[in-house]
Amino acid sequence: MPKSGLIIKDSAEAKQHTVIAAFAELVATIAPDGILDFTDLQERPFHKFWKNLILYRYLAEEDDFTVILFGTSVAQLHGNDWTGKRLGEIGIGAEGIETVRAMNKSVLESGEPFFGSGAVNLDEDDYRRWHQMKLPLRRGGKVNEVLVCMASDEVA
């Protein structure tokens, strides 16, 4: 099993995962330009994905992100709820923090979705594969948040 932290970018496995593929299809239907508005998430078709969502808000003055939402399936996958915490407080190590920060900033700057796969190590013998789609999110006319739909093979 891959080590925790190894991320496969532009992952075909993520694009084909049942949850991620359904989410990507809904995004394409609702927001053909690939940028959802926060109000879109409140509509009925997105309700079934809430448990799989992470929402990061970029804090430009601090060059950091705060976790605004950490869905229940994501919390179960990671063994923690990171809602309300900044990247430096979530316990994934300096390398993990910089990787998440760089991916999130890339999504905000490019406006392009990111599909990735990797593994999280819960303990010495328990690895879980995860898959995700990251995309920019608009709120109040401004794009400064990153929306993530994350699913795993074990936690749907």
Amino acid identity of residue 28, one-letter, is A
- Given a cut of 80, is residue 127 above it in pLDDT? no
| pLDDT single digits (tens) 55-111 | 999 999 998 999 999 999 988 887 889 999 998 888 777 777 888 899 999 999 999
Q: Tell me what pLDDT residue 154 has.
A: 61
The architecture in CATH of the region 7-152 reads 2-Layer Sandwich (3.30)
For the chain, state the CA radius of gyration: 14
The tally of CA atoms less than 13 A away on the side-chain side of residue 121 is 14
| pLDDT single digits (tens) 9-42 | 777 888 999 999 999 999 999 998 889 999 999 9
pTM of the model: 0.88
Determine contact, residues 133/23, Cβ cutoff 8 Å. Answer: yes
Q: In 3-state terms, what secondary structure has residue 32?
A: coil
